Amino acid sequence: MLVKREPDIKSSEITDKALYINRRQFIISTAALVGFGLQVPEFLYSSEERPRQKLAATIRGKYTVDEKTTSYKNATNYNNFYEFSTRKEDIEALTKNFRPRPWTVLVDGHVKKSKKYDVDELIKMFSLEERISRFRCVEAWSMVVPWLGFPMADFIKRVEPISKAKYVEFTTLHDPSQMPGQRSRILDWPYVEGLRMDEAAHPLTFLAVGMYDEVLPNQNGAPIRLVVPWKYGFKSIKSIVRIRFLEQMPTTSWVKAIPREYGFYANVNPKVDHPRWSQARERRLGEFRKRKTKIFNGYADQVAHLYTGMDLRKFY
């Protein structure tokens, strides 16, 4: 507006068209491969720009909530993904050329099966589950999303952490050439999140690779993201490249950035306000009236025991 800004993407960094077309080919072939494991493939092209791939679950999870899901449009148009921009409605366009394949996830730290996994190899290790869960952003808006993926607990069983592992640390891709937001120092990149071991192994904690019966859209954290429904959205880290098992509590990105406002636990709690806005209520995307926020985002029966004896005001 008033200040002249550098264009977000230098022309030298725009992907060559041939490569881009190949990428689509690549996705299709990969999906066909994955299809064997997931009994997928059927392709939906919503537009020339973005192939939308169908993905089907084999299990309907018992942790699913019986609530009206947010529209696909709202869930894919209103995203916090600071790696691309701080403006939620710009993310969809900015992630158009993001390449979620080929992709590897490094699993390391105090774990027996330490390895760099190809993401499709990783996904094939589990049967896909559909799970509808609530998602509550710290900015007091919320959604209900039908995710596809597998429980983090199953993943943990497969990679066999040793007893020294007390925490799990997750890291997002750091690639400023693909993620223009990483060229500004809004956060200390790469983005890091973490969970206590018992939180990570809780059956509600989920690794999502799809939503709305489709492969996870780029703006929602493709190819693989975390979903921790009883915590504020920023805990549910996107586009994961590393999962590390640690003895010490990791320093997560928002805690590092503003320790006074963000804590490691970040459990949804209407009684503990963010210093600058209230957490007592929230607006579901697509709804007019605000609704009351529930402790642990309505999952208190399942998770409250994880925090018995802890002062939730202190450990926010």
Partner 1 sequence: MKNDLRPIKFLKGGIFVASLLPLAWLAGQFLFGDLGANPIQKALHCTGDWALNFLLITLTITPLRRLTGWEWLSKLRRMMGLFAFCYAFLHFMIYIGLDQFFSWDAMVKDFVVHPRLIVGLLSFILLIPPTITSSTRMIVRLGIKRWQWVHRPIYLAAIGGVIHYFWLVKRDIQRPLIYAAILGILLAYRVVMWVVNRLRARPSAL
- Kindly state the helix (H) or strand (E) to which residue 109 belongs, with its residue range: strand 104-109
From 55-63, 188-196, 203-211, 282-290, give the range in contact with partner 1 by CB under 8 A.
282-290
Longest CA–CA separation in the chain, Å: 58
CA 313 – CA 30 distance, rounded (Å): 47
**Measured from the CB atom, is 62 or 314 closer to partner 1?**
314
- Kindly state the helix (H) or strand (E) to which residue 146 belongs, with its residue range: strand 141-151
Is residue 283 within the footprint of partner 1 (CB under 8 A)? yes
CA 179 – CA 8 distance, rounded (Å): 10
Kindly state the smallest distance separating residue 314's Cβ from partner 1, in Å.
18
CA 291 – CA 297 distance, rounded (Å): 12
Give the single-character DSSP code of 38.
H
From 49-57, 98-106, 160-168, 277-285, give the range in contact with partner 1 by CB under 8 A.
277-285
Is residue 32 within the footprint of partner 1 (CB under 8 A)? no
Kindly state the smallest distance separating residue 74's Cβ from partner 1, in Å.
4
One of 257, 259, 271, 315 touching partner 1 (CB under 8 A): 257
**Measured from the CB atom, is 101 or 290 closer to partner 1?**
290
Q: Which of 201, 172, 164 is nearest to 189 (CA)?
A: 172
How many beta carbons lie within 10 A of that of residue 10, not counting itself? 10
CA atoms within 13 A on the CB side of 81: 30
Which residues in 131-190 contact partner 1 (CB under 8 A)?
A: 139, 141, 184, 186-187
From 31-39, 78-86, 146-154, 221-229, give the range in contact with partner 1 by CB under 8 A.
78-86
Is residue 288 within the footprint of partner 1 (CB under 8 A)? yes
Counted residue by residue, the chain has a size of 316
One of 4, 289, 313, 314 touching partner 1 (CB under 8 A): 289
Kindly state the smallest distance separating residue 304's Cβ from partner 1, in Å.
24
Q: How many chain residues interact with partner 1 (CB under 8 A)?
A: 30
Compute the Cα dihedral for 306, 63, 121, 219 and give only its sign: negative
- Give the amino acid at 179: M
From 12-20, 44-52, 80-88, 294-302, give the range in contact with partner 1 by CB under 8 A.
80-88
**Measured from the CB atom, is 68 or 73 closer to partner 1?**
73
CA 243 – CA 226 distance, rounded (Å): 11
Is residue 2 within the footprint of partner 1 (CB under 8 A)? yes
Give the single-character DSSP code of 117.
E
Is residue 273 within the footprint of partner 1 (CB under 8 A)? yes
Give the single-character DSSP code of 90.
G
Binding positions for partner 1, rule: CB under 8 A: 1-3, 73-74, 77-78, 82, 86, 88-89, 139, 141, 184, 186-187, 257-258, 273, 276-278, 280-281, 283, 285-286, 288-290
